[in-house]
Structure 1
Amino acid sequence: MIERWRPKMHTFHLPISEATITLEDVEVLFGLPTDGIHVAYLHALRDYTGLDYLHMLQWLTGFQPAGPTALSGVSRFQRMPVRHHLVAMDTEITDDSPPEDIDRHMRLLLLLMFGGILFPNTSENLVSLRFLRHLERLDDLSGYN
């Protein structure tokens, strides 16, 4: 598939004469590190059911959709109930809020950002719960690439 590699330019030249950018290019152009913890779909999550994802969502964020019917497929659900929950929750977050509440709020915001902005589905109204595992330990987020 690869015709030749140009180490000085960090590009691959394909047989159809197109070059693709590499992780080194991303690091140089955008200043994003490429040597940290990678984001991957864990094999353990492949056996999760919709209820497993809903329990994880409840545990990590305190948010519980109306029921299993809120899911679209096994691991996606509507964005709007989360947005409504966040709007209601905004009035509750203050300087005196417990760290657990702030962490739950942060996880929901990040879940919306991942599912709605960074990795949207074609209809742009569903959020994937597959990112929840990566939001379990918020202190590790700066190490992800």
Structure 2
Amino acid sequence: MLAALVERWRPETHTFVLPIGEVTVTLEDVVHIFGLPIDGEAVSGWTDSSAEFVQSQGIAIFGREPSVSGNAKSYIKLGWVRRIRDAELLDTNESIRRYVRCHIFCLLGSTLFTDKSTAYAHAKYLPLLHDFERIHTYSWGSACLAHLYRALCRASRYDTKEMDGPLNLLFVWAWERMPCLSPVPRQTLLPAEIPVAMR
């Protein structure tokens, strides 16, 4: 299914060209499927790939120096973050915040902004997790959709063999919008709830 969708992706218009016409994943779909906010501050900032940046940001967010990729020092191992998260005692407000930051970072790296390895997440997202009260004010849904569009544009090139990006969003969107792909009869599903991906 992924290969069939990528073949029909047009980078010029960011749409799938199907026999029925042009269709695409929209911001409304992101809200409906993932329940992510699409209003708010842009998910942006500067990227510093230095070891000092990754170390200082990791200590500020996780409370210890992060375990990074051997190839690219700016990528943090998600397995390490999960172990840190699961070891939190949750006995103070700060430990609860560290737990939530670790969980959000894992979601960013494994669901919203995945790369082809799915084992690492870029350290550029760490500054966005600093101010605990502002995390929910970012437009995560817009950034996720932009990441999907970028991944589809890259995958549509003739020399690309793999695709990264928020594939769960694409698969649930196809399942919702193209009933012929649905493996489960819709009448046997739980009542619709937001986000739809939970079903």
Q: Is TM more than 0.5 here?
A: yes
Seen in structure 2, the aligned counterparts of structure 1 residues 85 and 28 have a Cα distance that, compared at 3 Å, is closer
Counterpart for residue 117 of structure 1: 111
**Matching residue of 1:103:** 97
Contact 1:71–1:78 at 8 Å: present in 2 too? no
Deviation by residue 1:70-121 (Cα, 9 ceiling, x = unmatched): 55414202222222222222xx213xx2x22221221111111111222221
Alignment match, 1:36: 40
Count of residues in correspondence between the two structures:
125
> Is the alpha carbon distance of 1:26 and 1:38 closer, same or farther for their aligned partners in structure 2, counting shifts above 3 Å?
farther
Which digits, 9 at most, give the CA deviation of each residue in 1:29-48, with x for residues without a partner?
557553311112x13x2x44
Shifted more, 31-40 versus 107-116: the winner is: 31-40
- Tell me how large the CA RMSD over aligned residues is: 3.1
Greater relative contact order (Cα 8 A, min sep 6): structure 1 or 2?
A: 2
* Alignment CA distance shift 1:51-1:72 (3 Å): farther
Q: Which position in structure 2 is the counterpart of 1:93?
A: 90
Q: Distance in 1 between matches of 2:138 and 2:69?
A: 30
CA distance 1:71–1:59, shift in 2 (3 Å): farther
Match of 1:64 in 2: 65
- Distance (whole Å) between structure 1 residues aligned to residue 29 and residue 58 of structure 2: 32
Tell me the CA shift for residue 125 of structure 1. Answer: 0.8
Contact 1:115/1:127, CA 8 A, preserved across alignment: yes
Unaligned runs of 5+ in 1: 3-11
Q: What one-letter code is carried by the residue in structure 2 that aligns with 1:117? A: T
Residues 38-74 of structure 1: CA distance to partner in whole angstroms, max 9, x if unpaired? 112x13x2x44122112111012203235xx655414
User: 1:8 — aligned with what?
Assistant: none
Matched, 1:82 2:86: no
Q: Any gaps of 5 or more consecutive residues in structure 2? A: 1-11, 140-199
Identity, in percent, stands at: 24
Q: 1:5 corresponds to which residue?
A: none
How does the TM-score come out when normalised to structure 1? Answer: 0.67
Question: In 2 relative to 1, CA 80–33 (structure 1 residues): closer, same or farther, beyond 3 Å?
Answer: closer
TM-score, normalised to structure 2, is 0.51
Tell me the SS of whatever aligns to 2:86.
helix
